[in-house]
């Protein structure tokens, strides 16, 4: 029988390639309509294919850089942050995992996330508020949780989903501009056909955008948080550290937080949008994370 952790890793890799397949189909479809617009379907599909390949490479090899820039995170060295660096290094050694790069987000709202394509190429980002508000055991619990995501390849799936989801917006903007300028530069029947094709592309994007947004939600599933919590408790041998950290982090998310970002909220150990949605119980049904109370309960039952 396969170990649950290895089963999870294999499933995440399959989902990642399935996500790429769906995006390839999307780009082929858009390329087809662009080909009709420019008068050469083959050229349109080739252009779409080239864009997809570039995005594929960016997602796999530079996805974590895209995510850190979106989050406003800055890489730090051992000399700059010796306490944080030593904490991550000690946990990496204890868990037998490669040392990830360390980033800090300069905000007093406590939170953390991980990103990357594999355990050898990954980062862990924490906010200044997390370091200021947690004790050593709580900080170790959070770092161990993020290392678990890296080890389970949760971050590969999430990072790829975030980068590729952003292409929907890009394609929509390009299509709108092509329709506008194409409409100005052409006349008669040709102009009408061109605008119709761009309208079709925009409709496709409008239909698929929420679908891919939901795929992102599913990619960053609730179940992965429970597994990362359990793995973190095994890494540290002290479940209470992470349980206490989750309580502190959850209670200190604020409305209009500097780290509140719809594209990234599923990556964080606690959803930064909790502050904006406090009191809205219906939103729990659509959350990327399970309730913090349930996570804490499970940790304290270990």
Taking the CA atoms of the chain, what radius of gyration do you get in angstroms?
Answer: 22
Q: What is the DSSP string of 8-55?
A: HHHHHHHHHHHHHHHHHHHHHHHHHHHHHHHT-HHHHHHHHHHHHHHH
- Could you give the 3-state DSSP secondary structure of residue 81? coil
Closest to 227 in 3D by CA, of 286, 124, 298, 156: 298
Closest to 208 in 3D by CA, of 85, 33, 41: 33
**CA separation for the pair 266, 228 (Å, rounded):** 14
Residues 6+ apart with CB under 8 A from 264: 67, 70, 71, 113, 162
Closest to 105 in 3D by CA, of 125, 78, 85, 135: 125
Active site residue 89: no
Under DSSP, the state recorded for 289 is S
Catalytic residue, candidates 81, 138, 140, 146: 146
In degrees and rounded to multiples of 5, residue 56 shows phi and psi of -60, -50
CB atoms within 10 A of CB 128: 15
Annotated catalytic residues are 146
């Amino acid at each position: 029988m396969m170990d649950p952790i290895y089963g999870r890793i294999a499933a995440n890799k399959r989902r990642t390639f399935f996500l790429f397949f769906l995006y390839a189909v999307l780009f082929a479809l858009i390329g087809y309509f662009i080909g009709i617009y420019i008068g050469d379907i083959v050229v349109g599909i080739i252009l779409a294919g080239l864009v997809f390949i570039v995005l594929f490479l960016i997602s796999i090899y530079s996805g974590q850089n895209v995510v850190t820039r979106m989050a406003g995170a800055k890489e730090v060295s051992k000399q700059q942050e010796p306490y944080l660096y030593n904490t991550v290094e000690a946990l990496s050694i204890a868990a037998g995992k490669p040392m990830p790069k360390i980033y800090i987000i300069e905000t007093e709202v406590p939170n953390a996330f991980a990103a990357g394509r594999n355990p050898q190429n990954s980062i862990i980002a924490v906010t200044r508020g997390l370091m200021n508000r947690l004790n050593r055991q709580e900080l170790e619990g959070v770092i161990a949780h993020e290392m678990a995501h890296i080890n389970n390849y949760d971050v590969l799936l999430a990072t790829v989903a975030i980068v590729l989801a952003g292409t929907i917006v890009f394609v929509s903007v390009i299509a709108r501009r092509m329709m506008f300028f194409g409409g100005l530069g052409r006349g008669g029947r040709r102009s009408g056909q061109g605008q119709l094709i761009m309208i079709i592309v925009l409709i496709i994007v409008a239909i698929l955008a929420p679908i891919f947004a939901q795929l992102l939600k599913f990619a960053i599933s609730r179940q992965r948080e429970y597994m990362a919590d359990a793995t973190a408790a095994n890494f540290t041998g002290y479940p209470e550290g992470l349980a206490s950290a989750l309580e502190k982090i959850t209670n200190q998310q604020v409305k209009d937080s500097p780290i509140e970002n719809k594209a990234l909220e599923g990556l964080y150990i606690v959803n930064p949008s909790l502050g904006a949605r406090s009191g809205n119980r219906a939103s729990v049904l659509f959350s990327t994370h399970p309730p913090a109370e349930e996570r804490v309960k499970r940790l304290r039952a270990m």
